[in-house]
Amino acid sequence: MRRIFIFVFMCLTMSVVTLAGNVKLTSPDGSLTVTVGEDGGRAWYQVNRGNELIISRSELGFVLKDGDLKGNFKMGKVTRSSLDETWSQPWGEDALVRNHYNEMKVRLQEKQGMKRYLDVVFRAYNDGVAFRYEYPRQRGLDEFVIMDEVTQFALPTDAMAWSIPALTPYYEGIYTCEPVSQKGNMAGPVALEVNDSLCMAIMDANLTDYSTMNFSHEGTVLKADLVPWKNGDKVRVWATRVSPWRAIIIGRTAADLLLSRMALNLNEPCKIQDTSWIKPTKYVGIWWALQKQRWTWSQGPRHGATTENTKRYIDFAARHGMGGVLVEGWNYGWDTDWTRHGDGFSFTRAYPDYDLSGLCRYAAERGVRIIAHNETGGAAQNYEDQMEDAFSLYESLGINTVKTGYVNSHFYNGELQHSQWGVRHFRKVIETAARHHLMIVNHEGAMPSGIQRTWPNLIATESMRGQEYNAFDRHGGNPPYHECILPFTRGLGGPMDFTPGIMEYSNDSVPGTRPQTTLAHQLAEYVVIYSPGHMAADQIENYEHQPAFKFIEEVPTDWQRTLVPHAAMGKYVTCVRQERGTDNWYVGSVTDATARDLDLSLDFLDQGTRYEAIIYEDGPGADYRDNPYPMTIRRMAVDRGSTLRLHLAPGGGVAIQILAK
Ligand code: NOJ
Ligand code: CA
């Protein structure tokens, strides 16, 4: 990948602390300070913003299968370095990302017994702090098993926390907000509203060969709660000798969380040399009718993935500039209760009424690619066994994207999805796919942790409650505030395959269940929710003759720059994004059940350029409860001096194109 170094500064210094000494690390702008110390053998860190204590003394260390690695430490050598670089992404919310931090590596050495040691590497950015453990190979710490990570995140006061419960199946839960002290165990990222000028998010970054970090807590002291292997081991430290980063994003406003690129910066640079084949695109698919039980994945009279249906979808995609067609239910394995018999899935054998190679050719002739669907039913080993053959086949057929799925909370041999076994599996899929020039859209996957920097063929992940619940949820669908909290929590780790764009709300299979949003809100999701490869999720019939579809056709998925002018977690959010390589801008704004009027200054536009704004907004009487469809489309000339008043109905939204003239 092409990397642009605008300015790189790297320095290394080493110092040794005395037994009683604490060591400090400050962010490049001097605003954040991490202090690391040792007290009675217990190693701790704390974080300050100026004089304000943000994280009070929090313990570091581990319980191992053979002997604790905590409570018996003295501090050893301290090594410092700094970096200031700017790197470019093959796709993303910003084309260029600045990675600017000061780093301090602190050795923690056992005072008695085996005298083992580990290193803790701290980084202070202007927008947060992070640390990770390194386990140098040594006697007594060669291959070992972590039974518990004692890492704490002690909040000095109670804070409101947005989170889903730990071990929510596939993270498909509804985010709720309560004081930390009243929460149960939480999955990350946890977003915290601490006071009027402090918002934070705590999460894994670069989750590699390790188990996922959930959080338990005592009062306001959060603690790492790692997802175990079946036998209770938390992490088997064999080949990979570092933990994921424990990242604490720190901002004055909720918008600062969305603008932070810390999670990406904490991941390694791209490992794919030539990324020219990674070209995410919008897609349609044989999908929504399956969710609504109009069609079936399995064979029979209502089989969705037929050659004829797929051709219709390819023709539609070609007509409307969608580069991909997702096809689910094309392969053998769906005819039994596949959630329990995932071993029956074949990833190479197509059903007789689906002409796999013919359809790939038909699509290619029209400039469209088939997106292959690989549901595993959680039988991940069955998938690994076939993966090489399947991916070779797809590559030879010109398929460039695979959507994977794991509907089963357990994997091979009863291991949990988000355990180290699961995390390793998901990575194996991404790396194998990269060798075969395949992009991955991962459903029921690991919690994203910024690894798309390293593996940009992972273009999107679900790991959230997506639009699909608006088809089959027994409680009516996702709450109207859902998309007002996703960007601040799940979205911090990476692109979301939310599948926006539903325009027809009837539902025969679960009457009354539908998007709890207005139509304009569905359009705004394309800008507010970030993915480089959004789906136009509805059945294609529902897009024909629908003026709102023009926005979906034209909205890009790759951005030069992102701004967040309005943000209140769980209430409303406005994102403004510049299309990559042009002077066109797009605005998406969504609200919860409350109607709002928000003023948007267009002062981000170029001085001296004239623009036309095409505004898709909630029409008269629009209300997600009983009148979701009214939408007004209007055009007006705007420039850098303009201010637009955005009117959002209850559950509503607004989507705007601003085109340079
Ligand atoms: C759940 C996925 O999220 C959905 O997109 C897919 O259609 C079904 N599993 C079947 O694989
Ligand atoms: Ca799902």
Global model pTM greater than 0.85: yes
The DSSP string of 505-555 is ---SSSTT-S-SS-HHHHHHHHHHS--TT-B--S-GGGTTT-TTHHHHHH-
C-alpha 275/C-alpha 261 separation (Å) is: 21
The CA 290 to ligand 2 mean position distance, Å, reads 13
**Residue with CA nearest ligand 1 atom 11:** 375
pLDDT value of residue 409: 84
Looking at the structure, do residues 507 and 429 belong to the same domain, yes or no?
yes
Exposure on the CB side of residue 169, measured as CA atoms within 13 A: 8
Mean pLDDT of 485-499: 98
C-alpha 269/C-alpha 335 separation (Å) is: 43
Looking at the structure, do residues 507 and 596 belong to the same domain, yes or no?
no
Whether 16 shows a pLDDT value over 80: the answer reads no
C-alpha 461/C-alpha 381 separation (Å) is: 20
Q: Let me know if residue 575 belongs to a domain.
A: no
Exposure on the CB side of residue 332, measured as CA atoms within 13 A: 7
Residue 234: CATH number of its domain: 2.70.98.10
Domain termination site, one of 536, 555, 574: 555
Mean pLDDT of 331-350: 97
3 band by pLDDT with thresholds 50, 70 and 90: very low
Looking at the structure, do residues 245 and 324 belong to the same domain, yes or no?
no
Whether 14 shows a pLDDT value over 70: the answer reads no
Domain termination site, one of 533, 555, 577: 555
Exposure on the CB side of residue 348, measured as CA atoms within 13 A: 14
Q: Let me know if residue 579 belongs to a domain.
A: no
Looking at the structure, do residues 295 and 430 belong to the same domain, yes or no?
yes
Residues enclosing ligand 1, CB less than 6 A? Answer: 290, 328, 375, 405, 407, 443, 462, 468
Ligand nearest to the CA of 375: 1
Give residue 302's region: left, alpha or beta (phi > 0; psi -120 to 50): alpha
- DSSP β-bridge partners for residue 379: none
- Contact present, 451 and 207 (Cβ < 8 Å): yes
Q: Let me know if residue 503 belongs to a domain.
A: yes
Looking at the structure, do residues 150 and 241 belong to the same domain, yes or no?
yes
**Residue with CA nearest ligand 1 atom 6:** 405
C-alpha 248/C-alpha 250 separation (Å) is: 6
Both structure tokens of 269: 């640079």
Alpha helices in 199-287 (DSSP H): 254-259, 262-265
- DSSP β-bridge partners for residue 655: 588, 616
Looking at the structure, do residues 257 and 311 belong to the same domain, yes or no?
no
The CA 212 to ligand 2 mean position distance, Å, reads 19
- State percent of the chain over pLDDT 90: 95
Which of the listed residues 407, 417, 535 should we mutate to test ligand 1's pocket, taking the one with most ligand atoms within 8 A of CB? 407
Ligand nearest to the CA of 374: 1
Ligand nearest to the CA of 407: 1
At 227-240, the pLDDT tens digits run 999 999 999 999 99
**Residue with CA nearest ligand 1 atom 3:** 443
- Strand intervals (E) in 255-338: 283-286, 324-327
- State percent of the chain over pLDDT 70: 97
Please state at what angle helix 380-397 crosses helix 420-435, rounded to 10 degrees.
10
pLDDT value of residue 322: 97
Instruction: Report CA-CA distances (Å) from 266 to 132, 254, 318.
Output: 10, 21, 39
Whether 15 shows a pLDDT value over 90: the answer reads no
Which of the listed residues 171, 468, 473 should we mutate to test ligand 1's pocket, taking the one with most ligand atoms within 8 A of CB? 468
Which of the listed residues 443, 461, 496 should we mutate to test ligand 1's pocket, taking the one with most ligand atoms within 8 A of CB? 443
Looking at the structure, do residues 517 and 619 belong to the same domain, yes or no?
no
Looking at the structure, do residues 509 and 649 belong to the same domain, yes or no?
no
Report the atom number in ligand 1 closest to the C-alpha of 403: 5
Report the atom number in ligand 1 closest to the C-alpha of 297: 10
Name the residue range of residue 384's domain.
Answer: 281-555
The CA 307 to ligand 2 mean position distance, Å, reads 25
Q: Let me know if residue 574 belongs to a domain.
A: no
CA-based nearest residue to 178, from 211, 117, 220, 135: 220
Q: Let me know if residue 581 belongs to a domain.
A: no
Report the atom number in ligand 1 closest to the C-alpha of 466: 3
Start-to-end C-alpha separation, the chain: 33
The CA 352 to ligand 1 mean position distance, Å, reads 22
Looking at the structure, do residues 249 and 388 belong to the same domain, yes or no?
no
pLDDT value of residue 122: 99
C-alpha 333/C-alpha 564 separation (Å) is: 44
Mean pLDDT of 543-564: 97
Angle at alpha carbon of residue 183, lines to 180 and 185, rounded to 5°: 110
At 173-224, the pLDDT tens digits run 999 999 999 999 999 999 999 999 999 999 999 999 999 999 999 999 999 9
Q: What is the mean pLDDT of the chain?
A: 96
Exposure on the CB side of residue 127, measured as CA atoms within 13 A: 19
Q: Let me know if residue 497 belongs to a domain.
A: yes
CA-based nearest residue to 523, from 506, 540, 537: 537
Query: Strand, coil or helix: what is 438?
Result: coil
Q: Identify the DSSP state of 60.
A: E
Report the atom number in ligand 1 closest to the C-alpha of 290: 7
At 407-437, the pLDDT tens digits run 998 898 899 999 999 999 999 999 999 999 9
C-alpha 30/C-alpha 235 separation (Å) is: 35
Looking at the structure, do residues 242 and 293 belong to the same domain, yes or no?
no
pLDDT value of residue 501: 98
- Contact present, 466 and 497 (Cβ < 8 Å): yes
Compute, in degrees rounded to 10, the torsion defined by CA atoms 254, 517, 658, 542.
150
The CA 500 to ligand 2 mean position distance, Å, reads 14
Report the atom number in ligand 1 closest to the C-alpha of 444: 3
C-alpha 440/C-alpha 430 separation (Å) is: 7
The CA 85 to ligand 2 mean position distance, Å, reads 37
Whether 355 shows a pLDDT value over 80: the answer reads yes
Whether 5 shows a pLDDT value over 50: the answer reads no
Which residues participate in catalysis according to the annotation?
Answer: 468
Q: Let me know if residue 163 belongs to a domain.
A: no
Looking at the structure, do residues 231 and 369 belong to the same domain, yes or no?
no
| Residue predicted with more confidence, 483 or 15 | 483
The CA 445 to ligand 2 mean position distance, Å, reads 9
Count structural domains, the chain: 3
- Contact present, 465 and 477 (Cβ < 8 Å): no
At 56-80, the pLDDT tens digits run 999 999 999 988 999 999 999 999 9
Domain termination site, one of 555, 577, 599: 555
Residue 454: CATH number of its domain: 3.20.20.70
Residue 626: CATH number of its domain: 2.60.40.1180
Q: Let me know if residue 186 belongs to a domain.
A: no
Looking at the structure, do residues 435 and 501 belong to the same domain, yes or no?
yes
At a CB cut-off of 8 Å and minimum separation 6, what does 346 contact? 331, 332, 333, 386
pLDDT value of residue 13: 56
